[in-house]
Amino acid sequence: MSAFALARRLRAGETIYAGWCMIGSPIVAETIAREGFAAVVLDAQHGLWDVASLIAGVGGVTHAESAPMVRVPHGDFALVSRALDFGAEAIIAPMINSEADARHFVAAAKYPPLGERSWGPIRAMPLQGRTAPVDYMREANEGTLTLAMIETATALDNVDAIAATPGIDALFVGPYDLSIALSVGTAQDVHAPRVEQAIDKICAAANKAGKIPGIYCRDVPGALAMATRGFRFIVAGNDMTTVREATVAQLKGLKG
């Protein structure tokens, strides 16, 4: 997989399915990537990734010919720049609730004139086959993606302004936090009518602004359903759920 292929494919209109890793194991992430996912997300917000494992995980996913992505912790814009320097090709930032949040995200992720990213892609350049700094710098703003998570009522109210922010490449729905927010903390029902309406509103806002609509799904049926609704970057479950469900099936088979 050539450098920045994920961005090119999404910008060309392809629908991309991605793996999602919470366990914090570079070997697990690499194994998932080798099975053929075009991208693998390393979740440093709720997952077990630290800086050392992120560096190894990004390298493993890249060598498996997939695009490494990192979800950073809430408000950790310093890690945005670092993860890109490690070689991540896309960053998912949670709880982007306003245009101001979106601008802060862009400032950390994009070089001037879009943002204020500091120079230092010491791991990214060799992983992406770039030896001349000017080549990486020229391609990075277009080739690395910013995905702003929309997962609160406030973000939903501001979704058009967030989508229109220069340097934001995609809107990414966090359906579980969104369902909690829209139920005022009383439920986690991603299929509630109000949540379903919000999901469609976010997809429409992304398309209206010429941005990529993305979403997290728990499983394959959910991912396929979201593709039919217009989402083009879609996560289809995570490693912990996959391991747990596979283990349950094994034990059930052994017990007859």
> In total, how many domains does the chain have?
1
Pairing of strands 67-71, 212-217: unpaired
Q: What is the share, in percent, of the chain residues with pLDDT greater than 70?
A: 100
Residues annotated as catalytic are: 46
Cβ atoms of 211 and 239 within 8 Å: the answer is no
Average pLDDT across the chain, whole number: 96
Task: Give the range of the structural domain holding residue 49, as residue numbers without chain letter.
Answer: 5-255
Q: What is the CATH number of the domain that holds 226?
A: 3.20.20.60
Confidence of residue 256 (pLDDT cuts 50, 70, 90): confident
Amino acid present at 124: A
Model pTM score? 0.96
Residue 1: what pLDDT?
A: 62
What pLDDT digit, counting tens, does each position of 53-92 carry? 999 999 999 999 999 999 999 999 999 999 999 999 999 9
What pLDDT digit, counting tens, does each position of 104-127 carry? 999 999 999 999 999 999 999 999
Which residue is listed with tokens 């509103």? 201
Give the list of residues 6+ apart from residue 83 with CB closer than 8 angstroms, or none: 44, 54, 58, 70, 72, 91
What pLDDT digit, counting tens, does each position of 6-20 carry? 999 999 999 999 999
What pLDDT digit, counting tens, does each position of 156-212 carry? 999 999 999 999 999 999 999 999 999 999 988 999 999 999 999 999 999 999 999
Using alpha carbons, select from 182, 194, 131, 126 the residue that is nearest to residue 154. 182
Give the list of residues 6+ apart from residue 251 with CB closer than 8 angstroms, or none: none
**In 10 A of CB 148, how many CB atoms?**
30
Query: What CA dihedral angle connects 175, 236, 1 and 137, to 10 degrees?
Result: 10
CA distance 194 to 156: 12
